[in-house]
Chains A and B, each alone.
Chain A
């Protein structure tokens, strides 16, 4: 699964660190120093308490499938990338993150343990986190 010509992330000052870490093979989540919330997607202020005392935390990259759906047809999407498996993975650190499962949909079910992989994005200091079933 190549990334282009799929949509690529828009990198902003608020999210730059997340994407560049992904390019280096690390999945980051945000952790609030004040209330302890670990959250995704990255935001400068904690969405529970509005504290701006939030840190980047290295996630283990391990999680379980919360839900998924294999899309068989999708206009405007590269044929060779179908079926596309859209999923929420619940990270070990807590947050449920939207992602793709890069595998045959027959090989997963809700609760399957998965691990992160990164897909390079051309011309940008970024990579896109996806998940595969754990060996």
Chain B
């Protein structure tokens, strides 16, 4: 196979806010776009493609139009793939394809939202019936935490996973968050803190859940041509894969996610395996989301995630698989209830050597993985494998 042209992440920016009552969601999109351009050393007029999953709070189906209008973008390419929180990882892959096809050279991807300012609480019940499936799910009070609770319970039943093992994931994230001055929760916690926090939906406790925060982030994916003109250290997108997991007509398996497929595809494209990964950003809506993903991505065997995370495997800088060194969605930030964007951004920081000093890993190869929607019904899985410049 002829070598394909490469594409690079040239700019990455996470909004420092976690609560923005005075700002509009659109304004946050604009602020993160400006931040990513400044990071890359690119100008607004350089952008010729725009990617976003939608604009929560406006519920408009015309997000590329309202956003290009608001941001004042002139684009030759747009994509609004919406897989929930994993969307932004998919967008990176889609941007690479569009760049390889010669459709664009500078792709801007943005995320922003303000669920905290809107007063959303952990375990909120969705009341409206909007899709064919809602009449068979939401009527039963199917919330995200109820569904992930069912997944955790089934995983425990089949594999002997314990609440204490799930808690280790929060413990590692909190260990990292203490060095992130923007993190919502910077205090390190213990396994006891997690399992003694109140049960929201068994077996998941409050500290098994991610934060609810306002904010956003943006990344810029650029062509080889553009990259060669930039001073800024860029990160190569080596592989991308995605997949959709769902009911399979009544045969849902709550212990497995579509990361099995998205991970395999991303690793194949990159020509590497899980054993080569120095750092992993893993979607962490709940602790169980991480546990199932690291099994499905091949970092350990199915069912051995609990044993794997014990004894600090996820802790940077010396664990076997340092993860979410910004504190992740569990402790730092989960803007718009969508964690895919910050997963990409922290992976870029790690590869550039710009993570917080105490958690900086000697990383040449990083992975970012997203699980959007709900593994309790249907979810999008998206994985990218990224390489540092000095690899």
Binding site for B on A (CB under 8 A): 6-12, 14-15, 37-41, 47-48, 66-77, 81, 84, 86-88, 94-100, 105, 110, 128
Is B21 located at the chain interface by the 8 A CB criterion?
Answer: no
Q: Which residues of A contact B377 (CB under 8 A)?
A: 98
Residues B138 and A84 in contact, CB atoms below 8 Å apart: no
Residues B146 and A71 in contact, CB atoms below 8 Å apart: yes
A40 → B minimal CB distance (Å): 5
Tally of A-B residue pairs with Cβ under 8 A? 132
A73 → B minimal CB distance (Å): 6
CB nearest to A90 among chain B residues = B250
Q: Which residues of B contact A70 (CB under 8 A)?
A: 149, 201-202
Among A12, A41, A99, A110, contact of B157 (Cβ-Cβ < 8 Å):
A110
Is B55 located at the chain interface by the 8 A CB criterion?
Answer: no
A72-B199 contact, Cβ under 8 Å, with A41-B133, A67-B154, A88-B252 = yes
Q: A76 to B123, alpha carbons, bound, how many Å?
A: 10
B323 → A minimal CB distance (Å): 25
5 CB < 8 A contacts A-B: A14-B132, A40-B136, A74-B125, A87-B150, A97-B136
Counting chain B CB atoms within 10 Å of each CB, which of A6, A67, A84 scores highest? A67
Q: A94 to B139, alpha carbons, bound, how many Å?
A: 22
Within B123-172, the residues touching A (CB, 8 Å) are 123-125, 127-129, 132-143, 145-147, 149-154, 157
Residues A76 and B124 in contact, CB atoms below 8 Å apart: yes
Q: Which residues of A contact B142 (CB under 8 A)?
A: 86, 98
Q: Which residues of B contact A97 (CB under 8 A)?
A: 136, 250
Residues B143 and A71 in contact, CB atoms below 8 Å apart: yes
Residues A76 and B125 in contact, CB atoms below 8 Å apart: yes
Residues B132 and A41 in contact, CB atoms below 8 Å apart: yes
Residues A96 and B251 in contact, CB atoms below 8 Å apart: yes
CB nearest to B147 among chain A residues = A86
Among A37, A40, A69, A95, contact of B202 (Cβ-Cβ < 8 Å):
A69
Q: Which 6 A-B pairs have the closest CB atoms?
A: A95-B250, A69-B149, A9-B135, A67-B154, A86-B146, A39-B249
B272 → A minimal CB distance (Å): 35
B240 → A minimal CB distance (Å): 27
A73-B132 contact, Cβ under 8 Å, with A67-B157, A95-B249 = no
Q: A131 to B251, alpha carbons, bound, how many Å?
A: 19
Among B134, B137, B154, contact of A66 (Cβ-Cβ < 8 Å):
B154
Chain B 95-133, CB within 8 Å of chain A: the 1/0 string? Answer: 000000000000000000000000001011101110011
Q: A38 to B251, alpha carbons, bound, how many Å?
A: 10
Residues A9 and B201 in contact, CB atoms below 8 Å apart: no
Among B128, B150, B249, contact of A68 (Cβ-Cβ < 8 Å):
B150
A11 → B minimal CB distance (Å): 8
Q: A39 to B339, alpha carbons, bound, how many Å?
A: 33
Residues B250 and A39 in contact, CB atoms below 8 Å apart: yes
A15 → B minimal CB distance (Å): 7
Among B128, B137, B198, B251, contact of A95 (Cβ-Cβ < 8 Å):
B251
Is B28 located at the chain interface by the 8 A CB criterion?
Answer: no
A76 → B minimal CB distance (Å): 4
Is B200 located at the chain interface by the 8 A CB criterion?
Answer: yes
Residues B121 and A71 in contact, CB atoms below 8 Å apart: no
Q: A72 to B154, alpha carbons, bound, how many Å?
A: 19
Residues B121 and A69 in contact, CB atoms below 8 Å apart: no
Is B355 located at the chain interface by the 8 A CB criterion?
Answer: no
Q: Which residues of A contact B202 (CB under 8 A)?
A: 69-70, 72, 105
A8 → B minimal CB distance (Å): 6
Q: Which residues of B contact A71 (CB under 8 A)?
A: 123, 141, 143, 145-146, 149, 200-201
